Structure 1
Amino acid sequence: MKALIALLLIVSFENARAAEETTLQSVLEELENLKKIISQQQTKIGSLEEKNRKLQEEVVHLKSDQEVIREKMNLKQTKVLKIPKNFGGEPRKLSRGADDIILSRHKRLISPLEVGFTALRHQVSVVHTNAVIIFETSITNAGSAYNHSSGIFRAPANGLYVFFYNIECSAMGHNDNTQVELVRNGAKTGIQAYCHGTGDVDNSSTLGILHLSAGDTVWVKLLYGDNISFGGKTLFSGFLL
């Protein structure tokens, strides 16, 4: 009987020890798994920290590039707005009109203003003395400053303007001499062209430069001659320098 009890005690002890060893093994395995997970998380954290460092470096570089670009733009703007100097290195004294022209050009360099037109005359109707020659067909009209219905150009800004016109004429009456002139605000400019047609067709052209203020008007006027028919090569063109 005693032997049986001892045997049972031994068996119970062995079972308990086996269970304890199993539990300990499970705990060790869990610890090992946790170590692996922690190691993986540390690797990921290290990778994220490296990415964050690189992003911060890129931000610093972008800010530096932005500063360089801003400095270059400020330098260019300073050069544009710099007053021209004479040969002695002293600032050039400009008249009010010349100063206005330079300031106008500087403004257009900073904020470009496109002004330019070319228009043709295809009408077969005659033109009489002192009448506006209307070039009704616009080929180009950047800035919409030329009115093809009235034949009048209106300056949208202060500045120097270049004008060119060509006339192809044929006298329909007794007078075979035709004289046209560029007119500014209704006043003569002296920029004239002549042609002579005695049944045949003649051509004449001229170019002129005018300083205009915003709102000034320019057109081509038949100064001398009457009952004049202008051909298809008659055109009027102008642009802002």
Structure 2
Amino acid sequence: MLTYSHNERVVFNRLFSNVGGGYDSLTGLFRCPQSGVYVFEINSLSHQDKTVWLQLYKNYNYVISTYGHSASDYGSAGNSVVLKLAKNDEVYVKAVDPKNGAATSIYGASDEVYSTFSGYLLSPVFEEYPVVG
């Protein structure tokens, strides 16, 4: 079980693929390697009788949330979004304090993956500039 305090960036340290090298598994930060339209997904599972509340940010701006809780079981949550990103835009996930002083609890073990953060390019965007002269 991993616990995160309020506003702490969540680091997903198990990589399945990182084409383009945009995700840093030490900091939890995705830095856009190429301008385009991207899909991002957050899926998470809280520990039994705990809460998982995560928020996705683009360049310090809140975009979407996930929330999962169950009084006597594990709570699951998931959400996705399509974003237009410019090269070097940053996307990351932060934890939210579910109750004053409580921590967000993400369930998992080295051989079990229940919580994931995914992003992929749908379509590149090429900006066109008028030719002067």
Aligned residue pairs, count: 114
Q: Deviations over 1:174-206 (max 9, x none)?
A: xx55421110111111x1111114352111111
Structure 1 ranges of 4+ moved more than 4 A: none
Tell me how far apart the structure 2 counterparts of residues 236 and 161 of structure 1 sit (CA, whole Å).
13
> Where do 1:1-241 residues align within 5 Å?
124-170=1-47, 176-189=50-63, 191-198=64-71, 200-225=73-98, 226-232=102-108, 233-241=114-122
Tell me how far apart the structure 1 counterparts of residues 15 and 2 of structure 2 sit (CA, whole Å).
18
Q: The residue matched to 1:138 in structure 2 has which SS?
A: coil
Structure with bigger gyration radius: 1
Which has more helix, going by share of residues? Answer: 1
Q: The residue matched to 2:96 in structure 1 has which SS?
A: strand
Native 8 Å contact 1:177 1:196 kept in 2: yes
Q: The residue matched to 2:67 in structure 1 has which SS?
A: strand
With structure 1 as the length reference, what TM-score do the two structures score?
0.44
With structure 2 as the length reference, what TM-score do the two structures score?
0.77
Tell me how far apart the structure 2 counterparts of residues 163 and 196 of structure 1 sit (CA, whole Å).
22
Q: The residue matched to 1:136 in structure 2 has which SS?
A: coil
RMSD: 1.8
Native 8 Å contact 2:52 2:106 kept in 1: no
* Bigger RCO of structures 1 and 2 (CA < 8 A, at least 6 apart): 2
Percent sequence identity over matched residues? 29
Unpaired runs of 5+ residues, structure 2, are 109-113, 123-133
Instruction: Give 1:165 deviation, angstroms.
Output: 1.1
Letter in 1 for 2:61: A
Q: The residue matched to 2:119 in structure 1 has which SS?
A: strand
Unpaired runs of 5+ residues, structure 1, are 1-123
In structure 2, relative to structure 1, the CA distance for the partners of 1:199 and 1:186 (3 Å cut) is: farther
Native 8 Å contact 1:170 1:198 kept in 2: no
